[in-house]
Structure 1
Amino acid sequence: MKPNYKLQPWVKLIRPFTLTASLSPVLVAVMLAIRDHSFDWIDSLLCIIVALAAQITSNIANEYFDFTSKTDDKESLGPNHPMSMGWLSKTQVKGAMVVSIMITALAGLVLCYLHSWAYLLLGVAVCLGAIGYSAGPWPFSKHGLGDLAVFLFYGIVPTFFTYYLQAGRSYTDIWLLAVGMGLISDCILIVNNYRDYEDDRQKGKKTIIVMFGKEFGPKLYFTCGALSLLLLFPFAKMKGFILLCFYILIFTSNFRALKTTEGKALNKVLAKTALMVLAYALVASLLLLLEM
């Protein structure tokens, strides 16, 4: 099936509905900086650019290297992949990956210039992590390390450093939020790997769910979601509990859908889980604002 318009393959390539995973931790860190009167709009904007560009790099790299290694094909259960569908060539996708890496690096270099060149090592780690998730001699996603990579690069790193660059300090609140963001962001990967369990197992891709069995997927999803929720309780006053109840309804609805859905229908659960990550960040942000 051909795309409906020229931009559609590129939109599918960057997988925009997953970008909540990179935007959400930065949003939470920015709101904490605002609460603590440490907000800097230049640092915040640059962190948003780095986070989004790094995830787009990772998404493009995942598309490119999964196609070249024959991990993805037309029969894959996930949303249509532009390369396997023949919509984009290797040269086009490789060029897009180079551009996204350059944007990530440029924004990161500006942050280094504004603060310290010691952060250059962190920037290199972010770029290598974006590529190393799918490529290299030991891809994280194929050796049971995908969940750890998501926890670090979509939780700890963006949340902590977005705040630290502005406030110049570290304390319990930022660590609670960073760990919470890492746990809830991992739910996106869990749905993805749960959907692809049979395909991954046949192709030798060792995700956590392949290693521990398909029934482990919903259990891990619930555990990550529940723990991330508990980490918000220290920020919830009486008014905040209404927000937590709202979020609990979203989470339980997605959890039930995960347990009762199979095959390509899980793509809807994946999209809803990505929105759930954003909902988590918004609830956390509102809880922080209520403390002001």
Structure 2
Amino acid sequence: MQPQIQTQHNMSTGRKSNWDIWWRLLRPHTLTAAFIPVFIGTSLALYETTIDIPLFLVMLLACLLIQIGTNMINEYYDYKRGLDTAESVGIGGAIVRDGIKADTVLKLAFASFGIATLLGVYICMNSSWWIALIGTICMTAGYFYTGGPVPIAYTPFGELMAGLFMGLIIILISFFIQTGEVTTSSVLVSIPISILVGAILLANNIRDLDGDKENGRKTLAILIGRKNAILFLALMFITSYVWVLALIITGLAPIWTLLVLFSMPKAIKATKGFVGKSLPIQMMPAMKATAQTNTIFGFLLSVGLVVSYFI
């Protein structure tokens, strides 16, 4: 009863509170994992062709909608399985705190996927209908991340799947729809972003390790333990930076992509923020710093690619 009372209170106190409920449901801090890869793939395409701006914008919106739909499905199934409570840290909380009906959240998720599908038709008409198959696979993976009998999020493969679909595949699709091809350099440049997208999920799983273990999840963080998971997170950060340096040395990335090094303080803050912590609320700053590392790293990588093209 309490969530429903809270919703009615929010609705009576003005539009701002109502807006905040829906905004939190989107989990905006995760959305950078959707638009950063689109920026990078499009920036890479600059070197091959003239950018189709409408196509870029439609691709950007479609990816954001898929991420939003995935977040809502996550909210729905975690609630249905009893994983989310009003005291849970790091969730949207629209169902357990604000009284939004679970079925409404699920319908909104499918509506997001539906609009993304319509946008995908435009993308296919201006590129290749193979994109329809790949987009369908991406949305299916988004659903089965927390939906279905064996959710991906409950296995050790969550980080791998997140990096694959929200990193490499989005970058390559964004590149392909502009150029009509996939190149070796586009694949290699996508790797560090894929790693950092996976790092966001690993940070989330480190934070939720104790609760996930109690609920029968078998995440990577649970299997290797908190200490090793933090070390693995640090290794993911290091690998991303070393990878970019290797691309520059081999001539596969321009020198301006060294700008990504300015994101290192956030990566260091994220790693240190987990050390010695055990309560989820204590690890929230580290979780936030991990997401910010991906955002800043990806933004600077895009800037480096664009600046190098015009200089």
Same fold (TM over 0.5): yes
Report the CA distance between 1:14 and its aligned residue.
0.8
Q: Within the alignment, does 1:247 sit opposite 2:263 as a pair? A: yes
Q: 1:162 to 1:240 in 2, by over 3 A?
A: closer
Could you tell me which amino acid in structure 2 is paired with residue 64 of structure 1?
Y
> Which structure would you say has the larger Rg?
2
The aligned counterpart of 1:73 is 85
Could you tell me which amino acid in structure 1 is paired with residue 291 of structure 2?
A
SS at match of 1:135: coil
Residue deviations 1:23-50, cap 9 Å, x none?
1111111111124334221221121112
Pick the aligned partner of 2:292 from 246, 253, 275: 275
Q: Within the alignment, does 1:187 sit opposite 2:199 as a pair? A: yes
Could you tell me which amino acid in structure 2 is paired with residue 257 of structure 1?
G
Report the CA distance between 1:172 and its aligned residue.
2.6
SS at match of 2:187: helix
Work out whether residues 247 and 279 of structure 1, in 8 Å CA contact, stay in contact via their aligned partners in 2: yes
The aligned counterpart of 1:256 is 272
Q: 1:238 to 1:144 in 2, by over 3 A?
A: closer
The aligned counterpart of 2:127 is 115
Question: Any runs of at least 4 consecutive aligned residues in structure 1 with deviations exceeding 3 A, and if so which?
Answer: 1-4, 35-38, 235-241
Report the CA distance between 1:247 and its aligned residue.
1.9
Output the CA distance in 1 between the equivalents of 2:201 and 2:153: 10
Which sections of structure 1, spanning at least 5 residues, go unmatched?
none
Could you tell me which amino acid in structure 2 is paired with residue 247 of structure 1?
S
Report the CA distance between 1:86 and its aligned residue.
4.2
Report the CA distance between 1:253 and its aligned residue.
2.2
Question: Within 5 A, what are the aligned runs for 1:53-72?
Answer: 53-72=65-84
Q: 1:85 to 1:237 in 2, by over 3 A?
A: same
The aligned counterpart of 1:159 is 171
The aligned counterpart of 2:240 is 228
Q: 1:88 to 1:247 in 2, by over 3 A?
A: same
| TM-score between the two structures when normalised by the length of structure 2 | 0.87
* RMSD after superposition: 1.9
Work out whether residues 180 and 228 of structure 1, in 8 Å CA contact, stay in contact via their aligned partners in 2: yes
Report the CA distance between 1:162 and its aligned residue.
0.5
SS at match of 1:85: coil
The aligned counterpart of 2:223 is 211
Q: Within the alignment, does 1:17 sit opposite 2:34 as a pair? A: no
Which sections of structure 2, spanning at least 5 residues, go unmatched?
11-15
Which stretch of the first structure deviates more once superposed, 226-235 or 275-284? 226-235
- Across the two proteins, how many residue pairs are aligned to each other? 291
Work out whether residues 70 and 142 of structure 2, in 8 Å CA contact, stay in contact via their aligned partners in 1: yes
Output the CA distance in 2 between the equivalents of 1:113 and 1:237: 33
Which stretch of the first structure deviates more once superposed, 52-61 or 171-180? 171-180
Residue deviations 1:167-214, cap 9 Å, x none?
122223211221111101111111110011000001101111111211
| TM-score between the two structures when normalised by the length of structure 1 | 0.92
Work out whether residues 43 and 162 of structure 1, in 8 Å CA contact, stay in contact via their aligned partners in 2: no
Work out whether residues 206 and 221 of structure 2, in 8 Å CA contact, stay in contact via their aligned partners in 1: yes
Report the CA distance between 1:101 and its aligned residue.
1.2
Over the matched positions of the two proteins, sequence identity in percent amounts to: 23
Could you tell me which amino acid in structure 2 is paired with residue 227 of structure 1?
T
Report the CA distance between 1:69 and its aligned residue.
1.1
Report the CA distance between 1:240 and its aligned residue.
5.1
Which stretch of the first structure deviates more once superposed, 254-263 or 114-123? 254-263
Work out whether residues 260 and 297 of structure 2, in 8 Å CA contact, stay in contact via their aligned partners in 1: no
Output the CA distance in 1 between the equivalents of 2:255 and 2:209: 42
